Amino acid sequence: IAGITQAPTSQILAAGRRMTLRCTQDMRHNAMYWYRQDLGLGLRLIHYSNTAGTTGKGEVPDGYSVSRANTDDFPLTLASAVPSQTSVYFCASGPGTSASADTQYFGPGTRLTVL
Amino acid sequence: GQNIDQPTEMTATEGAIVQINCTYQTSGFNGLFWYQQHAGEAPTFLSYNVLDGLEEKGRFSSFLSRSKGYSYLLLKELQMKDSASYLCAAMDSNYQLIWGAGTKLIIKP
């Protein structure tokens, strides 16, 4: 693995189904983030993690949950998907914690369609 | 509230210079980032400014005026591969990034 990876690349999901988007980084970054990107809108932060074992809510956390059991992995779970969660999801990581102006490095994204 | 404004779309000619403007309003300020995003790809880091002035990095330069809440990205000697969206993001007092919707730059031969 080089950098930050996400899986799956794309997914079509029926409304009401549970879905976990995976994110793994091998840069030993402390901070990790989940964003969604919708046409005409800026990236919006869903959840973040300053370091392994801690998580926080971003701008649009409702309907999503995360966990950070170790440094490398930061999965995002949709407990019961709804059509408004159709979006492109980006995972990102950065070297520091929330208290630093770190550059964020992005994974390739997951394109999710909820029908 | 927190807000980032940048033009939706700009068009420029190959070999020319283009300036993409960004204005921001945030609760506190810990710097201004520019990212490039090609269609269907992830954003990639271009520049970071926290002090007033111009930072030059090859064909790309970024300027910041903290007193005016204003930044611009200057792209020189435009190439076709520069066709992409350019995202402006300001870091607030909680070190969270507030993102603009992006400026789609179209380069014509």
H-helix or E-strand spanning residue B12:
strand B9-13
CB A48 within 8 A of CB A29: no
Residue A112 CA to residue B64 CA, distance in Å, equals 36
Give me chain B's average pLDDT, please: 96
Q: What is the mean pLDDT of residues B57-75?
A: 97
Tens digit of each residue's pLDDT (9 = 90 or more) over A30-89: 999 999 999 988 899 999 999 999 999 999 999 999 999 999 999 999 999 999 999 999
Nearest residue in B to A10, CA atom? B40
Contact A41 B101 (CB under 8 A): yes
The whole-number pLDDT of residue B55 equals 94
Which two tokens mark A49? 């993690």
Closest to B75 (Cα-Cα) out of B42, B39, B47: B47
Question: CB of A9 within 8 Å of any CB in chain B?
Answer: no
